[in-house]
Amino acid sequence: MKNPNFSYKYLHVDKNSKARLGEINVFGKIVKTPVFMPVGTQATVKFLSPEDIKNINASIVLSNTYHLWLRPGPDVLIKAGGIHKFMNYDGPILTDSGGFQVFSLADMRKIKEEGVTFKSHLDGSTLFMSPEDSIHIQEAIGSDIAMSFDECIPYPSSYEYVKKSVDRTLRWAKRGQDAHTRTDQALFGIVQGSKYEDLRKYCAEELVKMDFDGYSIGGTSVGEDKKTHYKMLDYTLPYLPEDKPRYEMGIGAINDIFEAVERGVDMFDCVLPTRIARHGTLLTTQGRINIKKAIYKDDFTPLDPNCDCECCKNYTKAYLNHLFRTNEGLGNRLMSIHNLRFLIKLMEQIRVAIAEDRFIEFKNETIEKYGFDERGF
């Protein structure tokens, strides 16, 4: 174990699947797994305060290295005493590496062995990030868990391109690991390989040799069909150690979470629940609700009578409909609180189901009961 103050504790595996119950000790702070992490891209989960995050029982959040690098910048975060003090949040924080922007800003960047040249999405200025830069920025941010710098490979890509990309990602992982100095920050390696079984196996095995604190599964949910997505997991998970956390990056659809948990994944993040909330789509135990619809204009019932969040305990569908139609910020806050609490509560229920060896039954019941579509929401 590279960092003795960061560890994963295995508790139980469901008898009918590979779904596993565990705890991550993040420098004295316990994160129960499987876990969903709300995304606070720029040191804030959109429209939510740190107190809101705690009230929905989120145990860890994610922030974005690329965006924090641009604004407010590493110098400001160092002067603030790190991201925890800067945003007044004392729970665990994970930062991605900036590697996703290699994918999402594909029309604005150039990749070479040294690193990636970006065109800033803010002003078009030229920026450069190396694996070492990514680590140094994350150390300046002061997150509890940092990610290795990698290329999130676009789908589809040829075998030849993916092989070269995986080899480079492995070299970048080693360079980042060598540059990493903080003993109060864990570092994860990221497995790439697109849809190619041998490349996924190769990447995973080589990263495991480097002995990271945890391992992420990257390059999924980037345009591939569901069958291919789940094969990517099948091609990766058997080669990751059982005594370290497994994190599938950028996953928030209900069906994808269930499929990944069934295969032994521990950690997830996605902007999905807050993004669809801001567009009026709400996840409930009665199914998906589009709060924009006129039928809710005079519906004075709670959004979800089975939900314990601030939104459902105190406000009606009619009020949410009004807030949305008048473009009031409170509506974004309340609906984001609800969608995040819905997903976090679902993770709590998943953990109970694993402990009671009924994960598959719970998975099937949930998907049938809630009526989620093929997208998973």
Q: Locate the domains of the chain by residue range.
A: 6-270, 276-370
- Report whether pLDDT(256) > 80: yes
- Taking a C-beta distance cutoff of 8 angstroms, is the pair 297, 321 a contact? yes
pLDDT of amino acid 217: 98
d(CA 194, CA 219): 6
Judged against a pLDDT cut of 70, whether residue 372 lies above it is answered with: no
Cβ-contact 68, 83 below 8 angstroms: yes
CA distances, 374 to each of 46, 347, 359 (Å): 26, 20, 20
Question: Would the pLDDT of 253 be above 80?
Answer: yes
- Asked if residues 233 and 263 have their Cβ atoms less than 8 Å apart, the reply is yes
CB 110 within 8 A of CB 116: yes
Query: 133 falls in which pLDDT band (50, 70, 90)?
Result: very high
Mean predicted lDDT score pLDDT of the chain: 95
pLDDT, tens digit, for every residue of 141-187? 999 999 999 998 999 999 999 999 999 999 999 999 999 999 999 99
Residue 12 has pLDDT above 80, yes or no: yes
- Residues 275 and 263: their CA atoms lie apart, in Å, by 27
Q: What is the pLDDT of residue 107?
A: 74
pLDDT tens-place string over residues 270-294: 999 999 999 999 999 988 999 999 9
Position 106 confidence tier, pLDDT thresholds 50, 70, 90: low
The rounded Cα 9 to chain-centroid distance in angstroms is 20
pLDDT at 2 over 70: no
Average pLDDT over residues 235-249: 98
| Pairing assessment for the beta strands 287-290 and 115-119 based on DSSP bridges | unpaired
Q: How confident is the model at residue 223 (pLDDT cuts 50, 70, 90)?
A: very high
Q: Quick check: 120 pLDDT over 80?
A: yes
Could you tell me which of 211, 205, 229, 206 has the C-alpha nearest to residue 219?
229
**What would you measure as the largest C-alpha separation in the chain, in angstroms?**
61
Q: What is the reported pLDDT for 373?
A: 64
Provide the 8-state DSSP code for 153.
-
The alpha carbon dihedral of 61, 64, 65, 70 has a sign of negative
Record the tokens describing residue 221, joined without a space.
């949910």
What pLDDT was estimated at residue 102? 65
Contact yes or no for 10/242 (Cβ under 8 A): yes
Does the CA dihedral 39-44-49-51 come out positive or negative? positive
Q: In the CATH scheme, what architecture does the domain 6-270 have?
A: Alpha-Beta Barrel (3.20)
> pLDDT band for position 124 (50/70/90)?
confident
Q: Please give the structure tokens belonging to residue 123.
A: 């002003």
pLDDT at 104 over 80: no
CB 103 within 8 A of CB 152: yes
Q: CA angle, corner 12, sides to 217 and 235, nearest 5? A: 25
pLDDT the model gives residue 202: 98
Rounded CA gap, 372 and 286, in Å? 10
Predicted structure pTM score: 0.97
Q: Is residue 217 within 8 Å of residue 265, measured between CB atoms? A: yes
Does position 83 have pLDDT exceeding 60, yes or no? yes
Burial code of 296-326, b = ≥16 C-beta within 10 A, e = fewer?
beebeebbbeebebbbbeebbbebbbebbee
The pLDDT assigned to 257 comes to 96
Alpha-carbon distances of 81 from 143, 183, 324, rounded to whole Å:
11, 16, 37
Q: What are 26-80's pLDDT values in tens digits?
A: 999 999 999 999 999 999 999 999 999 999 999 999 999 999 999 999 999 999 9
DSSP 199: H
Taken in order 349, 354, 359, 363, the sign of the CA dihedral is: positive
Looking at the predicted structure, is the pLDDT value of residue 1 above 60? no
What amino acid positions are annotated as catalytic residues? 96, 269
Structure confidence by residue, pLDDT tens digits, 183-212: 999 999 999 999 999 999 999 999 999 999
Q: pLDDT for 290-327, tens place per residue?
A: 999 999 999 999 999 999 999 999 999 999 999 999 99
